[in-house]
Structure 1
């Protein structure tokens, strides 16, 4: 048996130093035996002990890689197990979240009567920051999963292939619904607590603070019900008549109160209107002059908002029944 040399000891030490203490002695014994046997085999073939040792250690490779194999620790940020899921989710989020951020910032700047340059600049900054945050946090979650989650033990088989004829009930729709509802809820809470519009250091909510707590709680409950419906449709794998009916009820439950509050003037915060009248008196006067035939700029905005509320509700109802009809034909 060849005596263990300093070079081998250095290699073994570099391998086991990152392993848990309980495993170091076993790994050391295994490596000492396997390296010594490999060196002896080479020496019997005519190599010198030094040449044999160097060749054996070279074949074993980087001790860090070898240690990762013993510890079952991945050396890549996201491995094959989660890579495709990460990539698909990241792509979906990058298509949706920055667009919503851009729309939200644009609406806020328009309501502040900001110039076109200020609006574009704010949108660009918001989109870039959103892309950075989405990429970072999504990747971080999957990197943690890669190192902490156990193997789900589910192997792919043809039963996992999606049905071509069943549209609108897939994972992407459930994720999109989740993202939209979370962003909407976050926007409502941000408006109430931090404010998209601020008068100095004081937030000026756009939505009427008088809607809290009852009105806004009902709205958040409806949004939660929409999320539960999206997850139920995803689990069922298709839209059903019952799901379409529930979707219709939820849409009506949102549109009718929202439209009633808009018409009565209780949807928008009166303090926000006063803020515009004081802080942006010139811009508001110019806008009212340009929209005098339509009853003023606030009336125009109210009509547009009403059309958006009703239109989104009608489209949501129609979309649910169309998907139900497709599922029944399939």
Structure 2
């Protein structure tokens, strides 16, 4: 197939591109490089099926119109403003990228009858109850403009399924980690903790550290993203993906550094947007796509640590 990946130089995006190339599809990538890095594609652009990298903005209608002349079969839409704190401080930027940009892409997909897989987020959900994981029908609670923008875009995407019979799938991966994730700022708790461990620094935890996360290794996530695009059964659906177990940030820090004296707690920078418990129920993905995670947390942490060591990011 001919496939477009928006945000393909980003952390999850480059793994999606790699999986699509392994599956022998022709792949185009569009990215404005505001969050991704061209180096992430270094080992992939020599592949005979890698067609083109376009430095462009999904809000640029002319750029999209030219791109879509390639007659794609699927558009995996991963481009987004993803930083929660930035969305609180600059909601207009997040709304413009995540809602308006998605609308412009949807219009091109509608004109050319291209399936869209829309990357949403687990951050749209209310906190999980103590026992049950979060399934797709679970209550939503957009506690940041980032989550609000993702929900707004989800609704637009699904409206094109109902109004125009456009094949679309909305996916909500949980907290994804692994090689190529940024190791600073809000790069991801696993990457930040591992970098600080390897650098001999203290691991800083926002708040009391009892908040939990469901950590999904990136290769499992990329396989989920790609296979949701292949499946006709997934059209018009919202689908979660996660590891299916959660871990507190305190326990994660201890698992990584194995020394409580190197862990400190600091005031939370955006407590209003903290979700106290995230735990994924991925039964729908298992039933509909035959998908389930294969990498354990221990395996994923080891692979991520090896990658950080190999890149001299410490």
TM-score using structure 1 length: 0.27
Question: For the pair shown, which has the larger CA radius of gyration, 1 or 2?
Answer: 1
Structure with higher RCO (Cα < 8 A, 6+ apart): 2
Which structure has more helix as a fraction of its residues?
1
More strand, by proportion: 2
TM-score when scaled to structure 2? Answer: 0.28
